[in-house]
Amino acid sequence: MSNKTTNNRAWWLVAPVVMLVAFNALIPLMTVVNYSVQETFGDNVFFWEGVRWFEEVLHSGRFHASLLRQLSFTGIILLIEIPLGVAIALTMPKKGVWVSVCLVLMALPLLIPWNVVGAMWNIFALPEIGLLGKMINGLGIDYNFTRQPLAAWFTTILMDVWHWTSLVTLLAYAGLCSIPEAYYQAARIDGASRWAVFRFIQLPKMKRVLTIAILLRFMDSFMIYTEPFVLTGGGPGNSTTFLSIDLVKIALGQFDLGPAAAMSLIYFLIILVLSWIFYTLMMRNEEQ
């Protein structure tokens, strides 16, 4: 018979945190829900609209275009950053003084504020004075991200890869460091190839951290705002106007609070559903 006693007084220590999270999350959410079903012309006067704004957003070609750009950007980012981060982690040393050096270098981009990253790359990629812009134009390639949609996409993706691949690298490196040396010794005895070691030893051990990396990068890239806004402002034209930028334009630029609130809730549900699908598929694959 167990003599273990339960002490519920710890819940009193957790309660302030729960209340703070509820205050910061639920109240703004309910405010957005309130705006999404009403119309206002100022003076704190509201008119009931029901689901009109949701229907308007879902049938809007502007919303569909922004969503397509967002999905394309997120897909490209995941296809580049996940394999690249794993490849860099595999080349990093596991022992010695260079471990600390590599970890610091990998962490540096993550420490830079998002608006500073956008400003840095804006200057770096300018065709007249930027090192990247001058170098690409010096190779005979016409490059101007302020006027060419393809160049704007290339610069935005390159900026995100530079900024966030380190996160995938650090997570993958943590997974690699958790593998016991005995696994590698057994592989050497069996004469396993480098690919076999990666496929049957390293990759299975990294599945959990890669699941976290994919989910984090999916959510972050799908909600990206500051970096592309500072870099391109959503231009040229609307070529880099992702969902977050379009939402801000509607809410603050046009001051259409009803459609903006409805769009933000749809935006939230898309992220929630896609994240759940990602997580479910990856967990199902791991169980198999």
Question: Cα separations (Å) of 282 from 210, 218, 222?
Answer: 10, 13, 19
Per-residue pLDDT tens over the stretch 108-160: 999 999 999 999 999 999 988 899 999 999 999 999 999 999 999 999 999 99
Any alpha helices (H) in the chain, and if so which ranges? 10-36, 52-58, 61-91, 98-111, 114-125, 131-138, 149-177, 181-190, 194-197, 203-222, 226-231, 243-248, 257-287
Backbone angles phi, psi at 127, to 5 degrees: -65, -25
| d(C-alpha 164, C-alpha 241), whole Å | 20
Q: Are 224 and 244 in contact (CB under 8 A)?
A: yes
Q: What is the pLDDT of residue 205?
A: 85
| Gap between the Cα atoms of 72 and 283, Å rounded | 24
pLDDT of 286 reads 62
The span from the CA of 106 to the CA of 123, in Å, is: 22
What is the reported pLDDT for 7? 67
Q: Which two tokens stand for residue 203?
A: 């990759």
Mean pLDDT across the chain: 88
| pLDDT value of residue 39 | 83
Residue 3: band (very low, low, confident or very high) from pLDDT cuts 50, 70, 90: low
pLDDT for residue 42: 67
- Between 128 and 11, the more confident residue is 128
CA distance 21 to 14: 11
Runs of H (alpha helix) within 191-225:
194-197, 203-222
Pair 74, 214: CB distance under 8 Å? no
Q: Summarize pLDDT for 183-219 with one digit per residue, the tens.
A: 889 988 888 889 999 988 898 888 888 888 998 999 9
In the chain, domain spans = 65-287
CATH architecture of 65-287: Orthogonal Bundle (1.10)
Q: What pLDDT is stored for residue 109 in this prediction? A: 93
Residue 32 has a pLDDT of: 87
163 closest CA partner among 128, 206, 119, 212: 119
- Average pLDDT of the residues in 277-286: 77
Q: Which of 80-84, 169-173, 281-285 is the least confident region?
A: 281-285
pLDDT at 288 over 60: no
Per-residue pLDDT tens for 94-106? 888 888 898 999 9
Residue 257 per-residue DSSP state: H
Q: Tell me: the pLDDT tens digits for 57-94?
A: 999 999 999 999 999 999 999 999 999 999 999 999 98
| Position 38 confidence tier, pLDDT thresholds 50, 70, 90 | confident
Report pTM. Answer: 0.86
